[in-house]
Amino acid sequence: MWRSFVAAHSGRCTEDLLTALILLIRHAAHAQLGNVLSGRIPGIGLSSEGRTQAERIASRLDGLAIDAVHSSPLQRAQETAFAIIAHRPELSVETVPELQELDFGDWAGQSLAELAEDPQWDRWNTVRANARPPGGESMAQAQQRAWTHVEHAAEAFPGGAVVMVTHCDIIRAVVAKVLGMSLNLFHRMEVDPATISRLVVGHWGAKVLSLNETCP
């Protein structure tokens, strides 16, 4: 279906486009979700709700030929990725540092209630294109590393489909890149846990096919 979409919207044959389908999946829910800025803290796995969500993602992807599954190193992403390949013996999960959660520096592990009192947090959520977490990385840096990996994956799997399990801000950053959107407008995109956002990427450029697909 996605191959037909690209051909119809480009005026060129799909074979010439060497287009790849990239599925950006936000990891499923964990116990700290909505209360703590978990960042890169290790050892945070999926909650029981999250495990159910991960299974629903896997069901949603049934019937889709997947060439590779890439995942952030963090446990919550890895568990989501392994749920996706549970019934696909031909696939393994490749850990990709470029899909790692944004480095929130000194903020990692703080509650969202605590952060709400920090003026730097307010600035971070207002001018993402220029602000940076204390001791962390900028959104622009995260966008560059993630987008570079998306491009490399599209080159490695022309005409194929690659699943990338990662994090909310990483998905927002990549989608903003494709749309030519300022990172200051990141809040205009909703990326919920256990959702799928689809891109097509080729030497001709990239398109967003969907954003924040839920898996009921």
Which CATH number covers residue 126? Answer: 3.40.50.1240
Q: State pLDDT tens for residues 56-74.
A: 999 999 999 999 999 999 9
DSSP per-residue string spanning 119-175:
HHHHHHTT-TTT---TTS--HHHHHHHHHHHHHHHHHHSTT-EEEEEE-HHHHHHHH
Question: What is the pLDDT at residue 132?
Answer: 95
Does the pLDDT at position 43 exceed 80?
yes
Q: What is the pTM of this model?
A: 0.91
Residues in a beta bridge with 24: 164, 197
Round to whole Å and give the CA distance between 88 and 107. 38
Q: Domain tally for the chain?
A: 1
Q: State pLDDT tens for residues 7-18.
A: 443 344 444 457
**Mean pLDDT of the chain, nearest integer:** 92
Given the structure tokens 């480009």, which residue do they identify?
10
Assess contact for 161 and 21: CB atoms under 8 A. Answer: yes
What range does the domain containing 143 cover? 2-213
Round to whole Å and give the CA distance between 140 and 131. 9
Q: State pLDDT tens for residues 73-121.
A: 999 999 999 999 999 999 999 999 999 999 999 999 999 999 999 999 9
Strand order in the sheet with 68-71: 93-95, 68-71, 161-166, 20-26, 196-202, 205-213
Banded model confidence at residue 2, pLDDT cuts 50, 70, 90: very low
Question: What is the pLDDT at residue 92?
Answer: 97
Q: State pLDDT tens for residues 113-149.
A: 999 999 999 999 999 999 999 999 999 999 999 999 9
Given the structure tokens 């029981």, which residue do they identify?
48
Strands 196-202, 20-26: pairing is: antiparallel
